Amino acid sequence: NAGVTQTPKFQVLKTGQSMTLQCAQDMNHEYMSWYRQDPGMGLRLIHYSVGAGITDQGEVPNGYNVSRSTTEDFPLRLLSAAPSQTSVYFCASSYAFGGSYEQYFGPGTRLTVT
């Protein structure tokens, strides 16, 4: 049982480049989300989804896009990377309605934008 997987684990980008952070889960969870973790700021919600084809914005969505074409995958796209997007990114999943409310986290992606 792989749980929540994220790739890559580390990434360095130049300002203006684009990239996609991958997230996948094998627990048939409806709810998936992306957080960023910054020193002194805690974790902040970027985007979330409650099922295939349904996404919505969190607290800090600017500069990021998401889509949810399958239950398993929830990629996060940086359209034009900026130094302010240097952070550690976590993907999490859980049941959306009923069932256990526990959220499972991926191992994180450390992104540096120079």
Partner 1 sequence: AQTVTQSQPEMSVQEAETVTLSCTYDTSESNYYLFWYKQPPSRQMILVIRQEAYKQQNATENRFSVNFQKAAKSFSLKISDSQLGDTAMYFCAFMKHGGNAGNNRKLIWGLGTSLAVNP
Nearer to partner 1, 56 or 79 (CB): 56
Least spacing, CB of residue 15 vs partner 1, in Å: 25
Nearer to partner 1, 7 or 101 (CB): 101
Which residue type occupies 64?
Answer: Y
Least spacing, CB of residue 44 vs partner 1, in Å: 8
Least spacing, CB of residue 95 vs partner 1, in Å: 8
Q: Are 74 and 54 in contact (CB under 8 A)?
A: no
Rounded distance between C-alpha atoms, residue 51 and residue 41, angstroms: 28
Rounded distance between C-alpha atoms, residue 27 and residue 71, angstroms: 9
Positions in the binding site for partner 1 (CB under 8 A): 31, 33, 35, 40-45, 48, 50, 54, 56, 58, 88, 90, 92, 94, 96-97, 101-103, 105, 107-108, 110
Least spacing, CB of residue 5 vs partner 1, in Å: 12
Three-state SS at 97: coil
| Cα-only R_g, the chain | 13
Nearer to partner 1, 31 or 74 (CB): 31
Cα–Cα distances in angstroms (integers) from residue 23 to residues 26, 32, 39, 63, 67, in the given order: 11, 9, 23, 18, 11
Nearer to partner 1, 92 or 113 (CB): 92
